[in-house]
Every structure is written in structure tokens, then in C-alpha cells.
Amino acid sequence: MSEGISASFARKYTDGPEIRVEGLRGFAQSGITVLFGASGAGKSTLVRCLAGLERPDEGTIQFGGETWFDSARRLFVRPQERRIGYVPQEYALFPHLSVERNIGYGLREMARAERQGRVKETVSWLGLEGLERRLPRELSGGQQQRVSLARAIVRQPRLLLLDEPLSALDLPTRARLRSQLRQWLIERAIPSVVVTHDRTEALALGDSLAVMDGGRVVQQGSAPEVFGRPTSLAVAGILNVETVQPGRVLAMADGLATVAVGPRKLIAVAPDLPADAGEVYVCIRAEDVILIKGDAAHSSPRNCLPAVVRSLRPEGPMMRIDLDCGFPLAALLTKQACTELALASNDAVMALVKAPQIHLIPRAEV
């Protein structure tokens, strides 16, 4: 296991934004780190600086015990020497080389037989058999994505950087590849950084999450942590979902999923969820949570959760209420509603959530 990346640097574009990464430590140490943020937040720049494809104007970048960039010492390790894998947004498969030769491109120093063995193994691992002699233009988007991944992984890099790996695909392919991609990355156990601006993708792929905004990394942590406790309103705005909890699908019937979250069972509308989904992230927006005091026996929402109020905090015109219902749940109410309910800490309430407002994101198992 590596010590991950430590970085502090600035990259200024002429007539453009400034990307400033400060005090990044232990980044992408292991597992899959998702770099999440809106487009223009500086995600790609950060990843390209890590790959050595762009040179920051000042600062330092370190990986494990190595220094990759240090402006004070005029030190810059070229991408050739970083031993990383990089999968760009549009895959950039060499158009004049076959699938096989694309994948084997980075193995030149290897003996021919060994190289062929390694390529073959990677080809069958990613299910690319039969396509070895095709040119990239003869492949579908999903196949190109796999070849690009194979080309980067076959060299056994120390760090894998994927820039919006699924954004060039059509929607059905994207949904299918999302869980596969996570599985593949876990199988190879290479620390990976995945850039995305898609929340579903971020939750489906990542072990941990780093949120970028305005050229800065504003928060890092596990998905439930970051979503449940955003460090600022700006981060909360980017994330736009307050409760993210790991859950397990127990049953599927008529497009309704029964999910265990902590000690609770929730019902969610999930017509597209595969029957064997298993591990999922359960996402609930705070504004979709209804609170009542007293009995909820005759209400329509499928999910009625006895809960205890842990804290109340004003958030703009609204009040944010953090609840404990066997798992942490956030609710967003107007101040007026809070007053009328006379909500206070340690009150017992009922939290109601309609089944269509519980969003499930499948995750490949670790």
C-alpha cells in the first residue's frame, strides 16, 4: 500500500481560472477515490498535473517517497517516469494500431513472449477476445473504454487516473459499465482516482470522495461522511443529497425494493435495479423527509421511521434537522414548520419518506 499523494500547487491559465490545490495529504492511498465536482471545478487539471501532462506554475507534488514536482528545486518528473496509468475522457486509442497493439504499447521493454502473455491475459480479463485485430474505429464506445482501461492497467501502474471514464458513453452502456468498472478496479487493487461530475457515478464507483469547487479540493472523506456532513453550504449545494447510507437489497417485487439500512427496512421504487443488486447506497434528500409528531399509522408514505432529533441548525431560510432513526437521517424544514411542531433536541418524531424518493445506487461488492 502506498502513502498516496501529497500535493500543494497552483496552475494558472492565461485569461482563465486558477486551480489551487492546497494541503492534499494521503490522497488516493488505496481503493477508489472519486474526484467530484461541477465541470470547470478543476478536476481534470488536478488529474493531468498528477499524470505529469501539465506542469503546475508553483508548488510540490509527491507520491509515496518520490517528489514528482517541486517548483523551488525546478524538479519535474516526466510522465514517462511516473509509472501511472491514465485513461482520458475520449480514451485516445491510437487510431492506427490494432486493439492488441494498443494494449501492448506500454510493454515495449518486455520480452515478446511475456508481452503477448500479458496482453492476452488482460484481453480475456476484460472480455475483449475476438477483437484483438480490430482497429479502434471498428469498436463500440464501451469496447473502446475497456481497451483504454486495459492499455493503462496492463503495465501494472502504481496509480490509475481515470478522467470522466464513462461520460463518452450512451446512457444504457454507462449504467452497465458503472458497476463493472468498480469491480475491475477492485480486482486489480490499484489505487485509482476517478474524475466525475455525476453524483450517481461518484457514489457507485468510489470508496472515498474528494469534492472540488472553484479550483480547490474542499472536502475529503467517505461518501456517507461527506454527504452527511458537508463542510460548507457550497459543498452541500454541489452534493445536493444529504443522506447517503450503505444498505443491502433484501427483496425485489413489482419494481419495489426492500432494503436493510442499519436496523431498519426501507421500501424504495427501483424498477431498473437488478434483482441481485446486493450492496447499495441509499440516498435521501433532506427536503423529501417529512416529520410528524405522534402516530403515523394512517399516512401514505411507505417508510415511517421512529426517530430522535439530534440537532437543529438554520440553513438559509430552512432548518436542518439531524435525526437518528437507527441510521443518521437529515431533514430540511422551513423555520415556521419547526416552530409549529415545537421541535427540539431529543424529541421523538416520525420521519416519513415516500418510496419513490429513496434512490438506490448499486455498488459492486468489495
Partner 1 sequence: MTGEEWQLVGFTARMAALSTLLILPFGLGIAWCLAKLRWRGKALVETLVTLPLVLPPVVTGLVLLRVFGRHGPLGYWLHERLGVDIVFTWRGVALALAVMSLPLLVRAARSAFEEVNPAFEQIARTLGAGEWRVFLTVTLPLARRGVMGGTLLAFARALGEFGATILVAGNIPGQTTTVAVATYEYVQLGEDSHAWVLAAVSAAMAFLAVLLSESLLRRKRR
Grid cell for residue 48:
493531468
Question: Which C-beta is closer to partner 1: that of 93 or that of 203?
Answer: 93
CA distances 43 to 36, 38, 83, 351, Å, are: 7, 9, 21, 37
Give phi and psi for 31, each to the nearest 5: 65, -160
Q: Rounded to the nearest whole angstrom, what is the least distance from the CB of residue 165 to partner 1 in the complex?
A: 14
Q: Write down the residue that cell numbers 490499484 correspond to.
A: 190
Q: Rounded to the nearest whole angstrom, what is the least distance from the CB of residue 89 to partner 1 in the complex?
A: 9
Question: Which C-beta is closer to partner 1: that of 73 or that of 96?
Answer: 96
Q: Rounded to the nearest whole angstrom, what is the least distance from the CB of residue 84 to partner 1 in the complex?
A: 6
Question: Which C-beta is closer to partner 1: that of 80 or that of 300?
Answer: 80
Q: Rounded to the nearest whole angstrom, what is the least distance from the CB of residue 129 to partner 1 in the complex?
A: 22
Contacting positions for partner 1 (CB under 8 A): 51-53, 78-80, 82-86, 88, 90, 92, 94-96, 105-106, 108-109, 151-152, 155
**Cβ–Cβ < 8 Å for 10, 206:** no
Sheet order of strands, 328-334 included = 290-292, 348-353, 303-315, 318-324, 328-334
- 296: which DSSP letter? -
Q: Rounded to the nearest whole angstrom, what is the least distance from the CB of residue 359 to partner 1 in the complex?
A: 35
Question: Which C-beta is closer to partner 1: that of 27 or that of 86?
Answer: 86
Question: Residue 332 contacts by C-beta under 8 Å, 6 or more apart in sequence?
Answer: 242, 285, 286, 287, 289, 315, 318, 319, 320, 321
What is the β-pairing status of strands 75-76 and 32-36? unpaired
Question: Which C-beta is closer to partner 1: that of 108 or that of 112?
Answer: 108
Question: Which C-beta is closer to partner 1: that of 139 or that of 218?
Answer: 139
Q: Rounded to the nearest whole angstrom, what is the least distance from the CB of residue 63 to partner 1 in the complex?
A: 14
